[in-house]
Structure 1
Amino acid sequence: MQAQLGQLYNAVPPRIWLALGVLVLGVLLSIVVGAVNRRLLERAGLPSIIEGTGFERLAQGLGTSTIAIVAQLSTYFLIGLTIVVALTVADVGYTDTFWTRLVAFLPRLFVALLILIVGILIGDKVELLVAERLRGVKLPEIGLIPTLAKYSVFYLAILVALSQVRINTLALVVLLGAYAFALVVFASLAFKDMLSSAAAGIYLLLNQPYTIGDQVKLGEQSGIVQEVDMLVTRVETDNREYIIPNRAVFEEGIVRVYD
C-alpha cells in the first residue's frame, strides 16, 4: 500500500501537489475571512442600519441576510482567486491569457456586486428617510417622492457598477439625462400644487399674517393655529386638526378672529 502511494506521489508532478496545497489552504482561508467579515459587519452595527430595507426583507425571505450575502461574496471572491493561483502554480500554460483576463476581471466584478448591494441598501434607506420626513405633508403627490428618490439611487448604482466591469455606459448616461429632464417636467406638473403651497408658505412665514395661537377661520373651518410650515398650516378645534395647504390660505384668504 505504501509502495503504491509512493508511486502515485512520484507520478504526479510536484507543481500539481503544490497547486493542490494552495487550493486547500486558500479555500480554508477564504472561509475564515468570510466569517471574520461577517463578525466585523455585525459589530459595526450594520444590521440595525439596514433593518427594514427592501433588500434585507428579500434576503430574510430567502433564509439569509444582507450581511451573510456580503460575507459569502468575499468568500467566493477569495476562492476564485485561489483557483486562479492554483492553476498558475500548476502551470496550465494553454490558458494563460484566459486566467490573466480572469484575474483582472474578478476584483472589478466583486466591487461591482458590492456597489449594487450598497446602492440597493442606500436606495431603500433613502426611501424610508424621505417618507419619514414627508409624513406630515398631506398632499397626494408626496407619496411619489420617496419612490423616485429610491430608484434614482438604484440607477446611479447600476451605472457605477457597470462602469466597474468595463461595460459602455454612454447610452445609460444619455438615458439618465433624459430621465432627469423628464423628472423635472413631471415634477413641475405633478407637484405644481405643492410648489404653489411652498411659495405661499414662504410668503406666510416671512410676513406672518397669523401666528401660532391665533384664532382663524378659513371657509367652513375654524380653530387655533398650531403650526405653520412651508407647505401647510395646522389648525385645531374641538379635538380635530385641520391640515390646510398654504396655497388654499393664499388663494382663498384666511380670517383672523379677535375675541
Structure 2
Amino acid sequence: MINTPIKTSQRVFEILEAFEDTQRPMALKEFVDVLGYPASSASALLKSLVALGYLDYDRVSRTYMPTMRVASLGNWVHSALFGEGEVLTLMQGLSEACGETITLAVQSDLFVQYVYLIPSRLPIWYSIPIGMTRPIAQSGIGWLMLGLRSDEDIDLIVRRVNFREQLASKRVSLDTLLPEIQKGRRNGFIISQHTLEHGAGSIAMLLPEKRFGRVFAIGVHGPVERLDAKCEDILEQLRSGIAML
C-alpha cells in the first residue's frame, strides 16, 4: 500500500522546485513543457500562487517569479536543524576530513528522510538528494533509530513497513533485522553496506539531542571499499564531534 500525494499539492511543490532548478523567472510554457501539465491547469495554479503572494507575474515578459514570501517560509528551519551551527560545523569537518557524502537524517514516521547533505568531493556513481526518503527498516540509519524503540514497537513498525511494500522481495524479516538493530545499540553506531544499492555503504551515529521531539542522525556515505579503508578515522571523528555538541 503506497500513499500518493494529492495532485494539486504535488504540483505546487514541483513548480517551486522548478524555480530552484532554473533559478530565474519562468513562463507558463516552460512549466507545461518541463512538468507536462495541461496548459489550463498550470495557468490556474500559477495564478492562484500569485493571488496568495507566493509568486509575482510580469506582464511584459509574461514570466513568474517566487516572492520573498517563499524564501521566508523556511528561515527558521536552519536554526531548528543546526542550532547555533554546531551540527553544520561537525558535518563540514567530516566532509573536509574524509571527502565523502555527509548527510543529516531524521525519522519521519515509517521513513528516514535526508534533510541536509554535503556532497562527496570524491568520485561516486549514485546520489542522495535532499528530501529523499527510505523505509526505516531498510536503511542503516533507520536501524539506529529503531534501536531507540522496544522490540515490541519494532515488530509493529516492521509489520507496517511490510504492509506498505508492494514488492515481496523488499519486505523485511524481523529475524534478520533485530540482530542489526541490537548491534547498533551495543556499538552506538551502524555500518551498513549494499542497502541503498550494491557497492554503496554508510557509517552513522545518532545525535544526542532530540530537536522538536525528532530523532536525528549523521551519516557518512560512499563506496564500501573507501569507507572500509577509513572506517576507524570516521568513527573517531563522529564520536569526538558528537561529544562536543
Q: TM-score range by the shorter chain?
A: under 0.3
Greater relative contact order, per chain length (Cα 8 Å cut-off, separation 6+): 2
The structure that has the greater radius of gyration is: 1
What TM-score, normalized to structure 1?
Answer: 0.22
What TM-score, normalized to structure 2?
Answer: 0.23
Higher share in strand: 2
Higher share in helix: 1
